[in-house]
Structure 1
């Protein structure tokens, strides 16, 4: 068995050193906030780069978040996409709302009958809704690849590196200010010891103590100055690294500019496709409407049974029942012919009376036929108008 005491001792020492360093940095930071300690200021160029980077990060987050809302308004779906992205799993393909609406329209058309005007229109609109859904899916995929992904990569990649280096620069600055404070305190102690010694120079023992204290103070000053030089070197090196990373924000802006142009192009293509599809849909709907109007005018009114052949079964039954009702109405119209009174047997022996009776009968028959024709014509007109109105309502 190998002993773990050296490793444990090393870990404890490192932990104690880190804890002490963290404590001194916390004290320095608190004193700076309270105005009790001096703070090393960064140069103006580096400060401007930091402010520009912070502005870029904030607005990139807002643009990314709002673009995600634009492309996916459903917050639950956005959370699902976020989880799949963090788990590095591929999000399963989903049907868009337009495609789902088109599918519902096609299923409804199969229920209502594809041969009916409503069913055929549902099929036409449903097909174009599915095309709109396909265009929407392509737009979402293109936007995610060309716009959302680069912005997200900047926030999760480049900005994390910049933030890490900035935190390291802040720690180097705190260490530098701590060293400056130590040097200042050591020099003040040395000056105070030289100005007002706490011993009698006539005594040899006190003289030796004075020389030893002066040497210790001088050694303390030299050590503090050495630590200050090391801290200054590390701070300058870290400031240069941070400056180079922050200057890369300009190239980030150029990259985001190209991504924004690609997003605008994808958006323009998507809306152009939608406009083209809707124009085609309007033309097809108008053409179908005009065709139905021409067919309704071209069919003779007396050929209603032939018209029923192009309609659904339920519509044909309604029209046939209507025709039967109209036929019953026409046949039930009774025309009462006036009956002629029989002449007496003696009238045949009267030639003059027989001739007058014959003329009277002929005149009455003429009036009767005229009345019958007028009544028949009036009845046909009524039946024609009612049948035309009802059949037109059924077809529409």
Structure 2
């Protein structure tokens, strides 16, 4: 295959720029960008080629190494084109958390002449506007997960993980066995978010996968709104997903998400459990929590067996309406956790939304592929 061929060529001629580039390119295409970086970095050193530099930047971006990407571009600033190179410099400086550099470079960046880059230009402008709003609402430093989630994708993060904040997680969950109470707490916070933003929805839209239908029925009760099956183009509605990644795995759900890429007036997309290591194809407007792996409360999770070992539990067989009623009747009090996470009351989320509301619900819902400046430990 192409990667095997490129690796063999590089092994035979490790100092040839073309062999270095071909190997790096093949690695990026195969999703192993960390292997591409050394080869592409050496190819850039030897040739100074802007085309090779762009491939190196792409590899850095895939790995979330935005500071390295920005530094690589700055080191070759004299040969950069405005589009895409100086745009990439602004983008990577921003996602590295270097707001001063991003704003300075953005002020020097002209609008693109080609239609190809107009969408990227608009998204970058929105990100910087959201950054200005988020700075008014909080520190927007390397621990401000809510602020940066909003900057990157326009998503309001409802809760921070109460475990491991200062031990590598910084507000994200790793593995999560969800509870009915946590689902209800997320819906209570969603209600506070909508109130703070002045959103007046007229319905809850149910996505087709079972997990989303259950949570959507519960949301309709909490919000005091009628529940209806999702319909593309419906305005003034809250579309509720349990996990958009799981929704994308449902054939009907995948079709619905295609419609949700473009914003409809008055439409809010809420996701309960958003995967930060394998992001969904669209970014939610609101998400309760960020996880690496999550099991819904009504799914068949792991449990202790009669022999003391671990076994797979049975999924809740009850009708969706009954499970939704269990969510609404649950205790929404948050887990106190390890006591190391900063206080995160619902009033704080509402205050954040009050500050950023004019920059919320704007533009498309492009997927957020980066963790940005706020890092969290990944478990393999």
Q: Please give the range of the TM-score, normalised by the shorter of the 2 chains.
A: under 0.3
Q: Determine which structure has more spread, i.e. the larger CA radius of gyration.
A: 1
- Of Structure 1 and Structure 2, the greater strand share is in 2
- Of Structure 1 and Structure 2, the greater helix share is in 1
